[in-house]
Amino acid sequence: MEGFCNSTKLELEEDKLEVRMMDEFFQIEKHLGEVKAVFGLQDELEAQAVDASKVQFVEFPAEPEAEKKPVAAVEGEGGEPPAEGGEEGAEAKAPAFEPKDYQWTVTNKQARNLPQLFLSCKPKSKTKHEVKKAASYSSSESAAISGALDELCQKVQGEVGYSYTQVLFGSGN
């Protein structure tokens, strides 16, 4: 998953969107197994939630109500309209899918980062998101990385649930 964490370092926005994290993440879970923990070594903090003020929803144009046609009575049946579905015992058709009956977000060119994707795919009650500074492990980058990985491995072995840990190495460290 190393490549996912570095996609923010690409220069062009189109390049950042080329590899869709969601597709790659689901393929990993499908072919390799469930992802229980993600560990990110980053220079900058990645937000764990989508900014609600930036979420846009699809607006469907208002449709005029279709006029209902009266059903003609069938002769010889006491003036009752024919039953829907024609024959007796015929299965009732499921209502047609109407996209406007649901709320859809506009996602074009608004990719989620890895923490947002991981945390939205796992049960909230069993998922932890932690942000730690590399300096809390060691002043040496390599020692900080190994210390953070050791801690992550202990968590994964000992806990039931999911974990996303970001270790920050940036100037704000």
In order of 14, 16, 54, 130, 137, the CA distances from 140 in angstroms are 35, 30, 38, 21, 9
Q: Which residue has the higher pLDDT, 96 or 110?
A: 96
Strand-strand pairing, 127-133 and 37-42:
unpaired
Instruction: Report pTM.
Output: 0.54
Contacts of 126 (CB under 8 A, 6+ apart): 160, 161, 162
**Residue 132 included in any domain:** yes
**Residue 22 included in any domain:** yes
Pure H helices in the chain = 2-6, 13-18, 21-31, 114-121, 141-158
| pLDDT digits 0-9 by tens, 34-74 | 888 888 888 888 877 777 777 777 777 877 666 555 555 55
**Residue 149 included in any domain:** yes
**Residue 93 included in any domain:** no
Whole-angstrom Cα distance, residue 23 to residue 43? 24
Can you give the C-alpha Rg of the chain in angstroms? 26
**Residue 85 included in any domain:** no
Paired with 105 in beta bridges are: 57
Classify 47 as helix, strand or coil: coil
Structural domain including 130 reads: 2-51+112-168
Classify 160 as helix, strand or coil: coil
**Residue 70 included in any domain:** no
Overall number of domains in the chain: 1
**Residue 61 included in any domain:** no
Do the beta carbons of residue 16 and residue 8 sit within 8 Å?
A: yes
Do the beta carbons of residue 26 and residue 53 sit within 8 Å?
A: no
pLDDT-derived band at 93 (thresholds 50, 70, 90) equals: confident
| pLDDT digits 0-9 by tens, 121-173 | 888 888 888 889 998 998 888 899 899 889 888 888 877 788 888 888 876 54
Classify 54 as helix, strand or coil: helix
**Residue 159 included in any domain:** yes
